[in-house]
Amino acid sequence: MNLPVVQARLAEADVQRIRRAAAYVEAHDTDAVLAELLPDLSPAERADVARHLVFDHTAVLVFPDSLDGLCEELRRQGFEPGSVTPSVVVRERLARRYGPTLVETPLAIVHVTVGTRSVEIFALPVPPDSPLEAVAADEREAEHESHHAFAVTAPGPVVPAGLRLLLQERGGAVPDGGGYNGHENVTVLYHRTRTHRRFEIRLPGRHAPLPDPTASLLGVMTGAWATQAVATMAELRIADHLTDHPGTDADTLARLTATHPEALRRLLRYLTSLGLLTSSDGTYHLTATGQPLRTGTEFSLHPLARLYAGPFYDSFAGLTHSVRTGEEAFAHRYGQHHFPYFAQHPELGALFHRAMAASAEMFAPVPTLIDFSTARRVVDVGGGNGALLSRLLRTHAHLEGVLLERPEALEAARPQLPERCTFVPGDFTESVPADGDIYLLSRVLHDWDDDRCLTILDNCAKAMHPGAQLLLVERLLPTPTAVAWDIHMLCNVGGQERDEDHYRVLLEKTGFEVQGCHALPLGASLLNAVRCR
C-alpha cells in the first residue's frame, strides 16, 4: 500500500498554537467565552446574547512551508481536518497590513474538529528563505488574526443588527473590519475588545460590512471640509438657483453664480456625496436635506451655514486651549467675549440674529403646550430677535409682550414684533422687568456658568410674583445634539449644556418649582417652572 507523500510541514511553534486553541475550545462554552471577552456584559445580558449566538470555533494563523499535503500533515499531528477552502477576508487583511503582494498569495482555511466545535486554521505557505518569513515571525508574535468566532443562530437582518449594537454599546466591542467569503457563503464581522482580544460574528450569506474604523475616523476628521462646502453652497445661493431652475447643469450654474465651471463641478460632486444634491445626466437637483439652505423661507438655515463656517468655525481652532484651561476659545482668538465682539461688528451681529431665527422652528409647539389664558404680560429675558415672544403674541391676541435685550439686539427685533410689545434695553445679570405673568428664558442659561445662571434666575425670581411661570427652552444632555452643542458653548461663549436634573437644581435653589418638561423640535426641550409662594 502506497501512502501519500506528505509535502507540507508545520513548525513546532505552529503545532503548539493549534493544540492550545483546541484545548481552549474544549474547555469553554458560549457563556464562558463571552464573560472572558466582554466582562462589562451582565450575566443576564450574556444569557440573552447566548440565545442568538453560539461559540463556534477559535482561529489561528499558521505558516506551513507548502499547502500541498496540508491535511496529511495535520493528521500526522493528530488532528481531524475537514476540507480546504480559500480564504478571502483574512488574505485581504494581511495584504493591507504587509503589502499588495499578499493579494496573489494563496491562503487556505481548514477546520479541525474538537468535540462539537472546531479550530479554524488559516494557512499561509512560507517556503524556506521566503521574504514571507518576516510576516510569519510578526504574526506569530502579535497574533493579529487569532480570534474566537460566534455563529448567529437567528436568520434575517434584525437579530444580528441588535446583537452588534448590544455588543458595541454595552460590551465595549469595537468594529474591526470583515467581509464576505463567497467560497463559504458567509459574512464575517470582526471586533476588538477593550483588552485587545478579537472575535468575529459569522452570518450566513452576504451582509453589509461594519464600517472600517480608519475610514470612519477620516470621515470625522474631514467634517471641516463639509462645513466649508455647505457654507460655499449658501454663499453662492445654489439652493435658490436650483429652486428657480431645477435640473440645471454645472455650466449654467457657473454662469448664474459667476464661478469657475470646472471648480464648481467639483464642488457640486462633493455636495452630492454629502446628500445635499442629486445628479442625473449632468444636471443637479436639491434634495430635502439641501432645501433648508434656500433664502427667504421660514426657518432657512442659510445664515446659520455662513455663521458656522465663519467666526464659530475659527474659534474651534482654539478648542485645545479651552480643554486645557476651561476658558472660551472665542475670546482667546478674538480678544474678547463673543457678544461684545459681535456688537462691535454689526455685520456679524446681524448675521448672528438671523442665524438664531433659523432655529426658531423649535418654538412652534410652545403656544399650545402651556395654558396662556390667564396670563396678561409675557417678559422675554434676553430673547434676541424676539422669535419666541413674537410667536406667542401672534397666537394669543390678549397677551402683551416685554423684550429685555441689548440695544443693538432690540433694533433687530423691532420689525418682528407687534405694537403691543415694549422694548427694554438692559442687562439680565443686573435686573429683570417686573410684573410679568410669564417669563421666557430661551437659550440663555446655556451661555453661562452655574454661578451666573443662579444670578440670572435670582433676578427673575425677584421680579416675579408668586405663581408666575418661567418657561425655560434649552437643549438637554445627553441627547447627541446637546452633546455637540456643549462643546460649541465651551468654545464660543464659555457656557455649557446641562441635563434636566441640573436645571432642576438651579431652579430650586432660586425659588422655583419645576412642573413639567416637554420635548421640542430640533432637539430642544421646554421646562415649565413656577415661582414658589
Distance CA 81, CA 76 (A): 11
Cβ within 8 Å of residue 476, ≥6 positions away = 482, 497, 498, 499, 500, 503, 517, 525
Distance CA 480, CA 411 (A): 34
Cβ within 8 Å of residue 320, ≥6 positions away = none
Tell which residue, 217, 213, 181, 215, has the closest CA to residue 198: 213
Catalytic annotation on 446?
yes
Annotated catalytic residue: which of 144, 321, 446, 518? 446
| Strands 186-192 and 198-204, bridge-based pairing | antiparallel
Backbone CA torsion sign across 29, 30, 31, 32: positive
Tell which residue, 26, 32, 51, 229, has the closest CA to residue 113: 26
3-state secondary structure of 101: helix
Tell which residue, 438, 442, 440, 428, has the closest CA to residue 468: 438
Q: What amino acid occupies position 33?
A: V
Element (H, E) at 116: none
Q: Which residues are catalytic?
A: 446
